[in-house]
Amino acid sequence: MARILHDERTYRPHEYGSEEEFEDAVVSHSREIFGPNSVYFDIKKRLENENVLTIPDGYLLDFSFQHSPRLYIIENELVEHDPFRHIGQQLLKFATAYEESRHKLKQALSDEIQADSEKRTFIEERAAEADIRNVDVLLDEVIYGSQAAAIVVIDEITSDLENVLGQLTMGTDVVQLKTYVREDDLIHHVRPFQQDVRSAADDEESIDPEELDTVVVPARREGFEETFLGEDCWYKIGMASSMVEQVEYIAAYRTAPVSSITHYAEVASIEKYQDTGKYILHFKEPAEEIDRIPLPDGHEGIAPQGRQYTTFTRLIEAETLDGVFP
């Protein structure tokens, strides 16, 4: 069982006594979990129609994409719950009820924003930056102008959970929040929501997340030759649902001894891959070979260990890998 060593102290996995305790941790650390450009709404507003009654754990208004804010339904869960009978059913109910509950949801969010001056100021500023006239128009856009999407926050991601999410048509992202304890001291381990998207905007050479259109994936020789070149696709890619409609190109970073980006392809379609909760990218044409984009000398540490996003312009203009990523 995993441990965390910190300041010469050992932290052991913390078992939550109830879902409410876990949810309190999510609410308390919502900015760290979901990112600084987000607002968490801890309201149990019912989404209902004639046949379905369900109560989401919360809602997230996300401004990671400045001109395309998004609203997510939040489901906070413990892994001990049956993902098929509990998580899957809950998400299915959310999707079913959402269509007929938008007016009530808008009113609930509007009331919460008006009652909380800090939330109101933050959202008004982000709406202005997005050239959206006011909060009312913003809520119309995120509630009526897009399909329902969800985020599951859970203490452990399992293959059963991925299997369930892979069968849902609703865009669903997963965030794993693991907690460790020493006496009464708790520490949390989390990969924040859309961190791979926001990391492109973290320094002075940042890329606007809305400009990201290319995903770079590490590929070993066998998989590269058999799949990237042989089948004109790449699969089992974990992607944020927000990036599915944005990605237009895929590039292969071939691991050692090649240690370079050597090929790219234009993406024809992106679909859920079997029952994995991940995606398969189909190419429009066979991958095209380009001049190698190698690691810069002495910078082996920047080699992609997982998917990374960039722009196609940066990709084709780069001479070394540090020119591909900011």
Domains and CATH numbers, the chain: 4-193 (no CATH), 198-323 (2.30.130.30)
Q: What angle, 0 to 180 degrees and rounded to 10, lies between the N-to-C axes of helices 135-144 and 117-129?
A: 80
User: Long-range contacts made by residues 283-290, C-beta under 8 angstroms, separation at least 24?
Assistant: 283/232, 283/233, 283/250, 285/232, 286/229, 286/232, 287/228, 287/229, 287/232, 287/252, 287/263, 288/263, 288/264, 289/262, 289/263, 290/261, 290/262, 290/263, 290/264, 290/316
Task: List the structure tokens of 185.
Answer: 């001291």
d(CA 67, CA 53): 33
- pLDDT at residue 91, rounded to an integer: 83
Strand, coil or helix: 288? strand
Q: Confirm if 264 and 288 have CB atoms less than 8 A apart.
A: yes
**Pairing status of strand 9-13 against strand 171-182:** antiparallel
Q: Confirm if 221 and 254 have CB atoms less than 8 A apart.
A: yes
- pLDDT at residue 300, rounded to an integer: 61
- pLDDT at residue 265, rounded to an integer: 98
- pLDDT at residue 34, rounded to an integer: 95
- pLDDT at residue 200, rounded to an integer: 64
Burial class (CB in 10 A: 0-12, 13-18, 19+), 300: exposed
The pair phi, psi for residue 315, each rounded to 5°, is: -60, -50
Q: Confirm if 176 and 156 have CB atoms less than 8 A apart.
A: yes
- pLDDT at residue 49, rounded to an integer: 65
Name 320's bridge partners: none
Query: Rg (Cα) of the chain, in Å, rounded?
Result: 21
* Tens of each residue's pLDDT in the chain, 326 residues: 678 888 888 999 999 989 899 999 999 999 999 999 999 999 877 676 666 667 889 999 999 898 899 999 999 989 887 666 678 788 888 888 888 889 999 999 999 999 999 999 999 999 999 999 999 999 999 999 988 889 999 998 888 888 887 777 788 899 999 999 998 899 999 989 988 887 665 555 578 888 999 999 999 999 999 999 999 999 999 888 889 989 999 999 999 899 999 999 999 999 988 877 789 999 999 999 999 999 887 666 677 888 999 999 999 999 999 899 86
Give the CA angle between residues 244, 245, 248 to the nearest 5°. Answer: 90
- pLDDT at residue 268, rounded to an integer: 98
- pLDDT at residue 8, rounded to an integer: 82
pTM: 0.87
Q: DSSP letters of 238-269?
A: ---GGGTTT--EEEEEETTTT-EEEEEEEEEE
Q: Confirm if 87 and 172 have CB atoms less than 8 A apart.
A: no
Residue type, 252: A
Specify the residue for token string 């994936």.
217
- pLDDT at residue 52, rounded to an integer: 63
d(CA 324, CA 261): 10
- pLDDT at residue 50, rounded to an integer: 61
